[in-house]
Amino acid sequence: MIIKSLDPRIDRAHLDDESTDGQLESLEHWQTYEVFSQEKRGMHHQHVGSVHAPNPEMAILLGKEQYARRGTTINIWVTKTTDIFITDYEDADIFETTPDKFHRDPESYKVMDRIKAYKERLAKV
């Protein structure tokens, strides 16, 4: 059976199910690295994208060229995508807060009303 694709280059190759043309062997491709950049010293690094590179040094160079050309960037981090671990959505209960610890939630304090009233009093004086 001929493989149909949205990409016309693949359609022109007339590949079938048993074809091995164009398939990569293991370790024949570059690794994917996630790139994090920092705009100013003291700010958090933010994820800006991904690059494919043969090693971390090249990933830094490619990340700089791809994501630090525009705007200010003073620092770049790269890490292999395979080294990033995530939690499962089924484990969301580990992030639930204990309901009787309202003192940890800043929204539980009703000071904004007092601050607004104080500012109004200062404006009248």
Low-confidence stretches of the chain (pLDDT < 70) are 1-3, 5-7, 9-28, 97-109
Q: What is the pTM of this model?
A: 0.56
In this predicted structure, what is the pLDDT of residue 10?
Answer: 64
Helix (H, G, I), strand (E, B) or coil at 125: coil
| Residue bearing tokens 């050309």 | 69
Fold of 29-96: Ubiquitin-like (UB roll) (3.10.20)
* β-strand partners of 80: 33
Q: What is the pLDDT, as a whole number, of residue 15?
A: 65
**What is the pLDDT at residue 18?**
67
Confidence (pLDDT) at 76: 95
How much is the pLDDT for 21?
A: 56
| pLDDT on residue 77 | 96
Strand order in the sheet with 46-53: 46-53, 31-38, 75-80
User: Could you state, in order of their start, the residue ranges of all structural domains in the chain?
Assistant: 29-96
Contact 60, 38 (CB under 8 A): no
Six-digit token string for 110: 């009703």
